[in-house]
Structure 1
Amino acid sequence: MTWFRALLAAGLSILLPGAGHLVIRDWLRAAVFAGLFISASAIFLPIEQLTAAGPMTSVGDINAYADIMAEETDAMTQFLLSFIGLFAAIDATFRALGFPPGSDTGGDGATCPECGKEVDEDLEFCHWCTTRLEPAADEEPTHS
């Protein structure tokens, strides 16, 4: 399941940077990557030509938009937008696999076996990824 989440996060981040971080519930990074991509698009893409092309109502209109994008954007803009998407995909993949940068796994509290984040020992589920947690081996369930 972890590999599937990582691949899903990477694929969504390629389509729209930040979307893959939404899958792994990393809200701040999702907002940062989406904001960065939308800002770069607004600054560097030929908005005047795209708005002059009119609304998309058929498949042919999508091809017209693609032609405008290919003709009117320079190589640096294409590289910048591709770099943001690729970096977002790599970051979402590593974070989905449990390799968050700067985290130390030597914490005192219990961690979730699925996402690796610290959880409250009193809960029966991870409040980050909703995985059901089994009670510790030394604890016996209390029945009243």
Structure 2
Amino acid sequence: MTWLRALLAAGLSVIMPGAGHVLVRDWLRAVLFAGLFLSASALFLPLDQLAAAGAITSYDEVREQATIMAEGTDAVAQFFLSFIALFAAIDATFRALGYPSGGTDDAAGATCPECGKEIDEDLAFCHWCTTRLEPEGADEEPIHS
């Protein structure tokens, strides 16, 4: 299930950077990647040509618009947008596999054994990945007198 989730997160991030992070519930990174990609798109893509073309109603018009976008965009812009999408896909894949975002393991509280994120100790489950958590001391057998 984890690999399938990681592949789905990567695929969504290739289509729209930030969408894979939504799948793994990493909201801040989703907003950052989507905002970065949309800002770069607004800067580099020939949006004036697309606005003049009007609404898209058929597959042929989609192909025509894609051709306009490819011809009107230089190689540097295409590389930059592809780099953002690729980096978002790689990051979403690692996040879906459970790798933490930071380089240190200095968590202030308890962490989930499944996803590794910090959890609320009052809950019986991880609010990030919904894994059921065993209460501390559950391993001990009750004492009968």
**Residue number in structure 2 paired with 1:21:** 21
Does the aligned pair in 2 maintain the 1:2–1:114 contact within 8 Å? Answer: no
Per the alignment, residue 50 of structure 2 pairs with: 50
TM-score (norm 1): 0.87
Matched, 1:118 2:118: yes
Structure 2 residues not aligned, in runs of 5+: none
Which contiguous aligned blocks of 4+ residues in structure 1 show a shift greater than 6 angstroms?
A: none
SS at match of 2:135: coil
Query: Do the aligned residues in 2 keep the contact of 1:124 with 1:132 (CA within 8 Å)?
Result: yes
The percentage of aligned residue pairs carrying the same residue is 72
Quote the offset at 1:109 in angstroms: 4.1
Structure 1 unpaired stretches of 5+: none
Equivalent-residue separation in structure 2 for 1:67 and 1:38 (angstroms): 19
Give TM-score, length-normalised by structure 2. 0.87
Distance 1:140 1:31 in 2: 47
Partner of 2:100: 100
The answer to whether the 8 Å contact 1:110/1:120 transfers is yes
How many residues matched?
141
Q: 2:111 and 2:140 mapped to 1: Cα distance? A: 16
Partner of 2:33: 33
Measure, in 1, the Cα distance between the counterparts of 2:85 and 2:65: 20
CA distance in 1, matches of 2:26, 2:124: 22
Instruction: Check if 1:88 corresponds to 2:82.
Output: no
